[in-house]
A = this chain, B = another copy of it.
Amino acid sequence: MNDRPLILITNDDGITAPGIRNLIEIMNEFGDVFVVAPDSPQSGMGHAITLDSTLHIETLNLDDGPQIEYSCSGTPADCVKLAVNEILNRKPDLCVSGINHGSNSAINVLYSGTMSAAIEAGIEGIPSIGFSLLDHSWNADFEGVKKHIHSIVKNVLENGIPKGIVLNVNFPKGKIKGVKICRQAKSNWIEEFDKRVSPQGKEYYWLTGKFENQDSGDDTDIVALEKGYASIVPVQFDLTAHHYIQKLNTWEFEN
């Protein structure tokens, strides 16, 4: 009998992105790897799912390891749903998503396809981790993150993660000094829409923006990353602001 863990891998940059190819290589050491990842980039998809159109999957053989691979026409969250409920014949022991080309720290976790896939797996009761490197480039250097991913995955397989929590791991670009457990920094984007005119004379916009950290605490993911540490934020998908329920109960409503 095979007692190697069954590991599901996905991402949001698409199945051919160097980030996921590096993650597959690392994870092949830990267990039997199934990849179900988008057939094209899906950055900024948040927790989107495909309700109004059909989903397609294709088997893929890139000849770079023992993993089994499927590309999918859907979003990262779709990939996890399809993998768990249609493709795999048992629940994975672990889901890893990434390595994302670019940051998913602070408020970016909400817009992140990488993290939505990890969260979707968490909702399905699978221990789950999203990995991101603070380098948008397609040719980002993933060598330095490998031993850290190895160490984090080893911890998760040994210790488990309680239901309702997934890990959001971000790596700084360049030398990594170590790992810090953090909270999500309070932050937002100051949008700057780039307004242009098409050759047909029609106005249109590109969404651009500047990231703004509004958090002066020193225990945030942003601070850890700025200091050269990898950040791990435990993320939950119970969004209830429990501390505010008591206050809301003092409001008077129409009956």
Write the residues of chain A forming the contact surface with B, with a CB cutoff of 8 angstroms.
Answer: 41, 43-52, 54-57, 77-78, 81-82, 84-86, 107, 109-111, 116, 119, 123-125, 147-148, 150-152, 155, 159, 162, 164-165, 168, 177-179, 181-184, 186, 188, 190-193, 195-196, 202-207, 232-242, 244-245, 248-249, 251-255
By a CB distance below 8 angstroms, the chain B residues around A238 are 183-184, 186
Nearest-neighbour CB distance to chain B for A105, whole angstroms, equals: 12
By a CB distance below 8 angstroms, the chain B residues around A203 are 56
By a CB distance below 8 angstroms, the chain B residues around A177 are 255
Contact among B41, B44, B181 for A48, CB-based, below 8 A? B44
Q: Most B CB atoms within 10 A — which of A202, A240, A255?
A: A240
Nearest-neighbour CB distance to chain B for A218, whole angstroms, equals: 14
| Given contacts A46-B77, A150-B254, A240 and B207 within 8 Å (CB-CB) | no
Contact among B44, B56, B193, B254 for A86, CB-based, below 8 A? B193
By a CB distance below 8 angstroms, the chain B residues around A56 are 202-205
| Given contacts A107-B123, A188-B124, A239-B236, A253 and B179 within 8 Å (CB-CB) | yes
